[in-house]
């Protein structure tokens, strides 16, 4: 597996190669680059597809110190530079969207466009945080229970989502790492007031049945980013790119066609 030494991390990534326009896929919390297999398969003939494991996830391994999504954005931009790519379309699911928005604000030269999948620019409802924190505490202390595994599966993919392969990965996560990556989630800043500064063409794709981020948050992001387009996936959950790959890929393909 290819790795890149970037910003003190050993970043794992996949790269379809070639000199075609680049798509950079950034995954959601508790996931890894494989969650974009359906998109890489669909787009690698026409685009150079790079998918990577963010700090604390997948092959990149544990995050041993606190970090922010600005750090993750810097990792993404540095990975492109490492691969000799000047600019890419940033395709980000959930926290992958958080880092993509921050990359667009801090390194606009590297961001050709943005695709937000099941993501948002504002904050989670405050009443959700204690429940998430309690889950992390129980998980890190006692391991991944059947109840917690089922809850996460439902949040990420809904009732039709096969979470078995992911549970095997979640069971291996260390207590320290769990607290670190969730701390990054809980302490992120609200970008609502900065959305008007984003100049990259933007597509917002969101499922009607997203159990993690209600559709209204995607609507707010699309309204705040100049010229952004919103596509709603009927019946789609949080990771609609996995469970509803066909309509999500169609929306992405139509958006990419407007960039040429």
What is the per-residue pLDDT across 173-231, written as a single tens digit (0 to 9) for each?
Answer: 999 999 999 999 999 999 999 999 999 999 999 999 999 999 999 999 999 999 999 99
Q: Is the pLDDT of residue 125 over 90?
A: no
Question: Which domains, from first to last, does the chain contain?
Answer: 3-124+189-257 (3.40.50.1820)
Question: Which pLDDT band, with edges at 50, 70 and 90, does 147 fall under?
Answer: very high
What gap in Å lies between CA 118 and CA 175, rounded to an integer?
A: 26
Q: Is the pLDDT of residue 1 over 80?
A: no
Section 79-92 average pLDDT = 98
What is the per-residue pLDDT across 19-33, written as a single tens digit (0 to 9) for each?
Answer: 999 999 999 999 999
100 and 72 Cβ atoms separated by less than 8 Å = no
What is the per-residue pLDDT across 149-164, written as a single tens digit (0 to 9) for each?
Answer: 999 999 999 877 888 8
| HEC secondary structure over 208-259 | CCCCCCCHHHHHHHHHHCCCCEEEEECCCCCCHHHHCHHHHHHHHHHHHHCC
* Lookup: tokens for 33: 């680059």
> What per-residue confidence (pLDDT) applies to 187?
95
Instruction: With 0.75 as the threshold, say if the pTM is over it.
Output: yes
> What per-residue confidence (pLDDT) applies to 29?
98
């Amino acid at each position: 597996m290819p790795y890149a030494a970037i910003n003190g991390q050993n970043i794992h990534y996949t790269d379809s190669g070639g000199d075609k326009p680049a798509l950079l896929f950034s995954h959601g919390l508790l996931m890894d680059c494989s969650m974009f297999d359906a998109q890489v398969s669909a787009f690698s003939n026409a685009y150079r597809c790079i998918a990577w494991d963010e700090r604390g996830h997948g092959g990149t391994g544990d995050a041993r110190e606190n970090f922010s999504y600005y750090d993750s954005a810097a990792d993404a931009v540095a990975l492109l530079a490492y691969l000799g790519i000047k600019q890419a379309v940033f395709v980000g699911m959930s926290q992958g969207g958080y880092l993509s928005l921050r990359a667009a604000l801090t390194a606009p030269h590297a961001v050709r466009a943005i695709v937000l999948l099941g993501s948002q620019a504002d904050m989670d409802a405050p009443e959700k945080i204690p429940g998430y924190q309690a889950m992390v505490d129980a998980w890190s202390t006692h391991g991944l229970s059947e109840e917690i595994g089922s809850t996460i599966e439902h949040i990420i993919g809904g009732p039709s989502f096969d979470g078995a392969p992911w549970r095997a990965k979640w069971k291996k996560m260390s207590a320290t790492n769990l607290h670190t990556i969730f701390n990054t989630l809980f302490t992120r800043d609200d970008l609502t007031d900065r959305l008007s500064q984003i100049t990259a063409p933007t597509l917002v794709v969101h499922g009607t049945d997203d159990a993690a981020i209600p559709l209204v948050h995607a609507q707010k992001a699309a309204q705040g980013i100049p010229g952004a387009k919103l596509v709603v996936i009927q019946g789609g959950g949080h990771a609609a790119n996995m469970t509803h790959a066909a309509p999500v890929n169609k929306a992405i393909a139509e958006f990419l066609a407007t960039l040429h």
